Amino acid sequence: MDLRLAGRVAVVTGASKGIGLAVVRTLLAEGARVVAASRKSSAELDALAGAALLHVPVDLMDPGAPGDMVARAVEEFGGLDILVNNAGGPPPGVALPRFSFLAPTDDDWREMFEFNLFAVVRAIRAAIPPMLARGGGAIVNISSGMARQPAPMNVDYTAAKAGLTALSKALSEEYAPQGIRVNTVTPGAVRTAWWTEDGGAADIIAAQAGSDRDTVLSTLAPQMMNMSTGRLVEPQEVADMIVLLASPRSASTTGAEFVVDGGSLKAV
């Protein structure tokens, strides 16, 4: 299927690894021009280098960074059609999961909302004018299954992502008549660095459960998350949904939420 993305300009945050990297790779394959925003690049992102890709190093904890990355897209490629707010999860230097409501401090809460909600607000605020100048666009915000199915862990993250899901709905109502579609993709547990890196979620859960990282990734995590597929989601599986929503093929889809979680959420 031709997704009709050739020549369109996209900004993707958290673009150096995981879901963001898969989104960048897929958009490029569809002929889009991409600003890949992340704190630093990676060997995998560098391997995609070419005229259609610009890496912009950004620290989204800096209030000015979202506006700067959008400005670079307009400067380099002449406008903006797509914004994928993928960056999220633990703020820089933070390891999750954290257990219990009493674990995060006020500063922890501020950092979590800064990274997972306020940075998105700023990116969208910067993206709307250039999108309107081109007659519309597509915004895809990446939430979390925890926003739909809270648990006694990561309560600050859960609240921030729930806010992001609500934000997407409100924006879709305001801007759909002006040609900007806003949708949400809600992943479950995805095999990304959050889980797999040293000191990441798999190691933390393994220490709590008296297990090991490989067992957590292959068995315990899917069981904990009640995943019908029995395995973690792969980043490309989430990226495929994101890119479809960014495409004009989804021209009548706005204000929607698409769950990619291996069947974790059971509610009707």
Q: Which one is catalytic: 157, 175, 194, 195?
A: 157
Residue 109 to residues 116, 159, 257, Cα–Cα distance (Å): 11, 9, 25
Place of tokens 């994928």: 84
- Phi/psi for 233 (5° steps) reads -75, 145
d(CA 136, CA 267): 34
Structure tokens of 172?
């879709």
For the residues of 88-114, what is the DSSP string, one character each?
Answer: -SSPTT--S--BSTTSS-HHHHHHHHI
Largest Cα separation within the chain, whole Å, is 56
Residues forming a β-bridge with 8? none
Contact 74, 130 (CB under 8 A): yes
Asked if residue 210 lies in contact with residue 216, where contact means CB atoms within 8 angstroms, the answer is no
For the question of residue 157 being annotated catalytic, the response is: yes
Contact 99, 152 (CB under 8 A): yes
Residue ranges of the alpha helices (H) in 88-226?
106-113, 119-133, 155-175, 193-196, 201-209, 213-215, 221-224
Active site positions, annotated: 157
